[in-house]
Structure 1
């Protein structure tokens, strides 16, 4: 008869006991290493999003030249030289009417989720964290901003929340208030996005 060392029994108990407990509790949860949401929480996120047709926001209705300069300043720290050139060309081609900003963050678990925020042919990829990040995009009234799920960090789906931000009035305000990683320039209440899987997207219409 095979005899196991005495120390093996506690180890086996922990392994099999933990597996059994996980199987018992798992049906009520999205199984993931990162975001853990119950079906009820997932449904609530969807309901809250549908019930909020417009997200409060601000924009700058300025001449196309200034909008291009504002976008260039933002792009300088976030885009490659090739992407910056494409942004400038797109700005002149589309004659953007305004520039608006969003603050976005992972409202559940900062587990490496990545999203793409798109508007008027311009897009920014954002690695979500628990710290809010400001993103600025060209906009046209009545045309929504699209947020697409690119990568599900540690599993469980992509979770994010957004809020509009106050737009600075001049260049000094730009330096003081742009790219904040807090909520001091937030406008209105945050909007929690539905749980997304890679490839899925949602559209957000800003209310100016």
Structure 2
């Protein structure tokens, strides 16, 4: 009789443990499904981002040093012809001064003779600066396209960020367009150059925003 009672108690205990475990697993699965996979920015935070973006002064861009130009061009993922054209079009940061003969070595006749005006050095159209794009919130597959002075690049945003060179925009505006919203919640993108950074408003697919920039 006692052994039969123990068996019933044991079976009841096992059933209770099994039921508790099943309920725990079910609750975990439900909580996992309910948790957002994409960005979860509140309405107030989204409004704050929008207002802060529109209040930003022009972002100071960090120029690519002369010794880093080749590395920067390689990192821009250009085809050979475009890379060659860009290299030929870049502005010399420190143009070498034109050599002029010593006036003391000229004869009086030579000194009095009118000298042709030196041709102004041709100003090239583009310079390179460093840009970093990153995902400011959840790394959920957001994708944007950046356009600056004829250069275009599509970037899948990560928390670590993607740093590359772009030509300085002549109109002082770098354009960013939302391409893909990842897992939802809006496209959350930040743009930086050196220590300067700008957080964009929450973007939708196809939306284009311009960021004012400058380089001293």
TM-score range, shorter chain: 0.5 to 0.7
Deviation at 1:74, TM superposition (A): 1.7
Alignment of 1:22-171 (within 5 A): 33-59=37-63, 69=70, 71-75=72-76, 79=77, 83-89=79-85, 95-165=124-194
Asked if the contact 1:96–1:140 (Cα under 8 Å) also holds between the matched residues in 2, the reply is: no
Larger Rg: 2
- Tell me the distance in 1 between the aligned counterparts of 2:39 and 2:72: 33
SS in 1 for 2:152: strand
Aligned to 2:101: none
Could you tell me which runs of 5 or more consecutive residues in structure 1 were left unpaired when the two chains were aligned: 1-5, 23-30, 166-186
Aligned to 1:168: none
**Match status 1:196 vs 2:197:** no
Per-residue CA shift, 1:76-99, capped at 9, x if unaligned? xxx37xx44334446657953211
In the superposition, relative to structure 1, how do residues 91 and 120 fare at CA in structure 2: closer, same or farther (>3 Å)?
Answer: farther
**Equivalences, count:** 163
RMSD: 3.6
In the superposition, relative to structure 1, how do residues 164 and 201 fare at CA in structure 2: closer, same or farther (>3 Å)?
Answer: same
Deviation at 1:55, TM superposition (A): 1.0
Deviation at 1:141, TM superposition (A): 4.6
TM-score relative to the length of structure 2: 0.61
Asked if the contact 2:141–2:181 (Cα under 8 Å) also holds between the matched residues in 1, the reply is: yes
